[in-house]
Structure 1
Amino acid sequence: MRITKTALALYGATFLAIAGMSAPVSAQTTDSVTIALRVAVNTLDPHMSASVGSDLSVISHIYPALVIRGPDLKLKGDVAKSWKMVDANTWRFELVDGAHFANGEKIDAAAVKWNIDRVLDKSVGARIAGWFSLVSSATVVNPTTLEVKTSSPYPAFADQLSMFFLLPPEWAKTHKPANETMSGGPYMIKENVPGDHITLVPNPEYWGPKPDFKTVNFRIIPESAARTAALEAGEVDLITGVPTTEIKTINADGRAKADAIPSIRTMLGKFNHQKKPFENLKFRQAINYAIDKEGIVGSIFDGKATVSDCQLLTPAYFGYNPDLKAYPYDPDKAMQLLKESGVDLKQQIEIEIPTASYLQGEEVTQVIASQLQEVGLNVKITEIDFGAFMNKQLKERNLAQIAVQGLAWPTIDADGMLTMFAPGNVYDYWNNADFGKLLDKGRASTDTEERKKIYADATKLMCDQAGALFLYAQPATFGISKRITWQARGDDWVRAFDMKPAN
């Protein structure tokens, strides 16, 4: 294996970064960009996170992928120059020739196979293992050709791979990818101060196009007001999660610009069907009628959100059902259904909201609680840290009766999004067998029109059964400095290679 002087320098830089010290680097130009992240980066291991807006956004600068999703939300090749299904259960990837990591390891079919095998290895405990549950094997045809066999058709596999990044196999055997890196992408880590900032500089061994910026800074700024202040002070170039009420203020100030576009994230009240009285259909339907979704969109989001059409999917998703309509706001209908449900309305209904996680989520939760109280329910709000919320949801399996949360699936395919409500899925609290059978049927088909019909049936079933409290599609809000240009995107990725200097 070829070990370059650059590779040694990279390893030294990573070591110093983990220790919280700055590594010596050559003089930098003024071509830099600073991106504010709302939450800290928890790991640098690409197989141990599914967090697009933090971990994976940073990781995508350091490690390559077979394919990535561009700002136009379309797939484009990275290490893979082409990909196709050669039969119902086989995907073939043709790779670029000459790609390599900074230590000289080749990014070839063998390296990709090793990464897939690592994720499939149960002893590794990969966080993203569920994405590969249908993968039965990966086979090296030749150095630039890889075939992946699946146990049943997996038409969204290429889309899912846009979140799958590649580690160097030999390096990973003797290092800790959670907090060490060996770049195979356009940037490498210069400094990493956990919870505060990560600084990237170009990887001189990168095999692809030269990046536009000499320095990329990711700053961790959890508070919305602090992010806005940093943007207006010229300290950062991009912020996301801007409250819609601040968009006009930022634009009026004139030092930066702000806006909102539709996102692929749906906000919902997730029902815990395992806790009474949420096994009761009329009770669940009553809650959907009791909430004024149009009012929330208009008053809290200044009209920049979109009411959900009684489904988890937004129009951007494959499988979106255009025939469904939102439950109308009808408190009288809600009270009638509550009476018919036979539920004791004196019992307490807990609504859980993870703090500082969703755009104006706490405000929305207050409105939901107030409107449920107006139709006669006894409601309690519990605010909880996001990490504790995820532990309750996935490990303890003990969500409150209603959990206000946002869901998105970056494949932008019904197969991923809806599967979070399939029986047996770690996220599911519904356990509807008929819904699960429809999803199995949709996954088994490679016929586009047939899949659309199946997902139309699945979304209608979930709507009719009031599987959740369907709320709105969260707007993707952002503020950007005048130093850079950036095509806003609604799927949470924040990447310097999607940006360019304004001049």
Structure 2
Amino acid sequence: MISIRSHAKPLLLALAAGGYGLCGIAHAAPSNTLIVGQSAAVKSLDPATVTSASDYRIDENIYQGLVGFKSGTLTPAPSLATRWTIGDKGLTYTFHLRRGVRFQDGTPFNAQAVKFNFDRMLDKSDPYHDTGPFPLATLFYGDIARIDTPNADTVVFHLKHAYAPFLTNLAYPAGLIVSPAAVKRYGKDYGSHPVGTGPFEFASWQRGREITLTRNPHYWGTPANLDKVIFKPVPNTQTRMAELLSGSIDLMYGVPAESLKLFRGNPRFTIHAQVAPSAWYVMLNQKQKPLHNRLVRQALNYAVNKRAIAEDILKGTAVPANGLMSPAFKATWDSHLAPYAYNPAKARKLLREAGYPHGFSTTFYVPTNGSGMLAPVAMASVIQNDLAQVGVKVKLRTFTWTTYLDKVNPGLKPDVGMAEMAWITNNPFTLPNLTLRTGAWPDKGGFNSGYYSNPEVDTLMAQARRATNPARQAAIYTRLQKIVHNDPPWIFVVNAKQVAVTSSRVQGFKLQPSYFLLLDGVHLK
């Protein structure tokens, strides 16, 4: 790892300057074949069994769910279901299925196929339940009481409790519909032989080297433009960038902020950036004095220069957060809610009002890496310095990601006041449900590791769980954001952008706030 990093910078500079033949890594991309550089090797192509973005980005092109997301949004839209109705006060969802659709193995898609998929995940007595485990099944679909199939084109889900995020959870990769015949044929090895209804079908898998998809000639919708898509795992970020610069790959996600300058202004590449459904924040332990005091938590928000973090540390790959929710949730985000401005004088005033004119000291847990954590140590150092300017002295303690989660997820200890965290979610319900409810304290099975508790928030979250009407949802979440902004559980820091870079020959590519990689509309010039 050290030797690769020590040579990466001169290699990249040479490539950027035009030395594409260096080390012999430049290759002409095959005609009408897109090559995607992935950050990790794929574990399985059974969408119900995995949680990795690298797996999902392939799955979304092989499979489809009953619903998807409208392009560019997180709004549920028809896919294998053409329409649906919600009845019985949110307890019944009836889906009318698209007719004439077949899986890539030629077998029919119908209501029984849908039922098979959810029975496989949720029913421990199902003969194919052993093809799991299914890590998201209970979280996303555990409220399903039973599934009825009155005819081949209709499927009815009966829920135990009203659960408003049910539709968006069906659009998540765990809800993608696999071929029952293929599962029965391959059993536990199904993840190596994926069969769906999507615009591309599985062709081959060279373990650790590449996975190849080809256009599905029998796709029910508009045929894909590409003949072939190759997904190559290139775990080292610097190597992945070198391959993009050389022409060995056409597309990559996750370009480090400081490396985007290699691609800016270069006509051979296009940078794509979009605010993601993410939240990056510093949780505050409200079992520790003085962090139990609302004025103190407000003061810390005014003390931190979030814009400097977004622009100087993250080089514009994030935006300052105005509160709990990401702008990616366009239907529910409160755009009128002003972020906490950088105002050290106001922070000192609030600390005095709270009875801490000379500040206080605490410990700040920081991961050295981790999923969605951006630049955790650099960001923590800026936050530490900003807080020191208002008299708050924090001691940084760093841990590797797995150790960090072991220390934070069970709940912050009494002597730990602060800890960084980041979430990426597919709906506005999940983050506050898992991190802000009193019923989500760690000893109750949630991730409210800072022990935040606000009765109004608890009431609103109970209402949000049952609200299936979009206007009602927006009203609830607008109120929730205002309450949480005034009674902050965290230091709201940034909402990250997802960033991808493509070669200029890639046309029609669009980032999706869901993080899905949808390639059916992509073509090459």
TM over 0.5: yes
**Number of the residue aligned with 2:381:** 366
Whether the 8 Å contact between 1:272 and 1:402 is mirrored in structure 2 is yes
Q: Which amino acid aligns with 1:441?
A: Q
Task: Give 1:483's match in structure 2, choosing from 505, 509, 515.
Answer: 505
Residue in 2 that maps onto 1:21: none
Q: Partner residue of 1:108?
A: 110
CA distance in 2, matches of 1:196, 1:362: 32
CA offsets per residue over residues 129-169 of structure 1, 9 Å max, x none? 21123332221020011111223444443222111111233
Partner of 2:467: 445
Cα separation, partners in 2 of 1:106 and 1:472, compared to 1, 3 Å: same
Residue 47 of structure 2 aligns to a residue in which SS? Answer: coil
Contact persistence 1:311–1:463 (CA under 8 A): yes
Counterpart-to-counterpart distance in 2, 1:244 and 1:347: 30
The amino acid that maps onto 1:408 is: I
- 2:17 corresponds in structure 1 to none
Give unpaired runs (5+ residues) of structure 1: 1-27
Instruction: Give the partner amino acid of 1:314.
Output: P
Corresponding residue number in structure 2 for 1:407: 423
Structure 2 match to 1:291: 304
Q: Give the 3 Å change call, closer, same or farther, for CA 36–137 of structure 1 in structure 2.
A: same
Change (3 A) 1:165 1:351: same
CA separation of 1:42 and 1:403: change in aligned 2, threshold 3 A: farther
- Partner SS, residue 263 of structure 2: helix
Q: Partner of 1:420: helix, strand, or coil?
A: helix
Structure 1 residues 313 and 140 mapped into 2: Cα distance closer, same or farther (>3 Å)? same
| 2:36 aligned partner | 35
Note if contact 1:247-1:259 (Cα within 8 Å) is conserved in structure 2: no
Q: Which residue of 2 aligns with 1:232?
A: 245
User: 1:302: how far off?
Assistant: 4.2
1:328-373 deviation digits (Å, cap 9, x = unpaired): 2233443455564669944433233534744444432332233234
* 2:363 alignment partner AA: Q
Paired AA for residue 95 in structure 1: L
Question: 2:267 is matched by which residue type in structure 1?
Answer: G
The root-mean-square deviation of aligned C-alpha atoms, in Å, is 3.2
Q: 1:492 to 1:402 in 2, by over 3 A?
A: farther
In the alignment, is residue 382 of structure 1 matched against residue 398 of structure 2? yes
Residue 183 of structure 2 contacts residue 190 of structure 2 at CA under 8 Å; is this kept in 1? no
One-letter code of the match for 1:127?
P
Contact 1:244/1:301 (8 A) holds in 2? yes
Q: 2:496 aligns with which of 457, 463, 474?
A: 474
Q: Deviations over 1:384-407 (max 9, x none)?
A: 23x55556666x566975443332
1:427 aligns to 2:447 (yes or no): yes
Equivalences for residues 70-149 of structure 1 within 5 A: 70-73=70-73, 74-88=75-89, 89-121=91-123, 126-128=134-136, 129-149=138-158
Counterparts of 1:319-358 in structure 2, within 5 Å, are 319-335=332-348, 337-338=350-351, 340=354, 345-355=360-370, 357-358=372-373
C-alpha displacement of 1:291: 0.9
Question: Which whole-Å deviations, capped at 9, do the CAs of 1:403-452 have from their partners, x for residues lacking one?
Answer: 433323224xx223432323236333235252232111122233433332
- Distance change (3 Å), C-alpha of 1:199 and 1:210: same
- More moved, 100-109 vs 59-68: 100-109
- Higher mean Cα deviation, 80-89 or 348-357? 348-357
Q: 1:117 to 1:338 in 2, by over 3 A?
A: farther
Deviations 1:283-311 (A, max 9, x none): 43333222101222232344453211122
| Superposition deviation, residue 251 in structure 1 | 2.9
Contact 1:308 1:326 in 2 (8 A): yes
Instruction: Decide which of 163, 167, 177 is 1:158's aligned counterpart.
Output: 167
TM-score relative to the length of structure 2: 0.79
Check conservation: 2:366, 2:376, Cα contact below 8 A. no
Normalising by structure 1, report the TM-score: 0.82
Q: Secondary structure at the match of 1:496?
A: coil
2:180 maps to 1:169: yes
Q: Given the superposition, is the C-alpha separation of residues 397 and 349 from structure 1 closer, same or farther in structure 2, using an over 3 Å criterion?
A: closer
SS of equivalent to 1:253: coil
Instruction: Give the residue type in structure 2 aligned to 1:426.
Output: G
Cα-to-partner distance string for 1:235-270 (whole Å, 9 max, x where unaligned)? 111122223443343133332122423322222223
The 2-side partners of 1:99 and 1:499 are apart by 23
How far 1:93 moved relative to its partner? Answer: 1.0
Q: Secondary structure at the match of 2:380?
A: helix
For residues 393 and 101 of structure 1, the distance between their equivalents in structure 2, rounded to whole angstroms, comes to 44
Q: Is the 8 A contact 1:300 1:364 kept in 2?
A: yes
The whole-number CA distance in structure 2 between the counterparts of 1:201 and 1:391 is 42
Q: 1:197 to 1:366 in 2, by over 3 A?
A: farther
The 1:199/1:402 distance shift into structure 2, 3 A limit, reads farther
2:195 counterpart (183, 190, 206)? 183
The answer to whether the 8 A contact 1:354-1:405 is kept is: no
CA distance in 2, matches of 1:273, 1:217: 49
Distance change in 2, residues 1:142/1:332 (3 Å) = same
Q: Residue type matched to 2:474 in 1? A: K
Q: What is the aligned partner in structure 2 of residue 20 from structure 1? A: none
Aligned-partner Cα distance in 1 for 2:202–2:405: 29
Q: Flag the 1:389–1:105 CA change in 2: closer, same or farther, 3 A.
A: farther
The answer to whether the Cα contact below 8 Å between 1:355 and 1:362 also exists between their aligned partners in 2 is no
For residues 50-70 of structure 1, what are the alpha-carbon distances to aligned partners after superposition, in whole Å with 9 as ceiling and x for unaligned? 44x322221122222112224
The answer to whether the Cα contact below 8 Å between 2:306 and 2:494 also exists between their aligned partners in 1 is yes
Could you say which residue in structure 1 is the equivalent of 2:65?
A: 65
Counting matched residue pairs gives 470
Supply the distance in 1 between the matched residues of 2:387 and 2:220 (Cα, whole angstroms).
57
Question: Helix, strand or coil for the counterpart of 1:454?
Answer: helix
Unpaired segments ≥5 residues, structure 2: 1-28
Counterparts in 2 of 1:208 and 1:456: CA distance versus 1, 3 Å: closer
Match of 1:326, SS state, is: coil
Q: Does 1:416 align with 2:430?
A: yes
In 2, Cα distance between equivalents of 1:107 and 1:392: 46
Q: Is the 8 A contact 2:363 2:397 kept in 1?
A: no
CA displacement at 1:97 relative to structure 2? 2.1
Counting only pairs closer than 5 Å after superposition, residues 152-301 of structure 1 correspond to structure 2 as 152-163=161-172, 164-173=175-184, 175-176=187-188, 179-184=191-196, 185-193=198-206, 196-203=209-216, 206-273=219-286, 278-301=291-314
For the 8 Å contact 1:37–1:54, the answer to whether it is kept is yes
In structure 2, the CA distance between the partners of 1:475 and 1:218, relative to structure 1 (3 Å rule), is same
User: Which is further off, 147-156 or 134-143?
Assistant: 147-156
Tell me the residue number matched to 1:5: none
Further displaced range: 296-305 or 86-95:
296-305
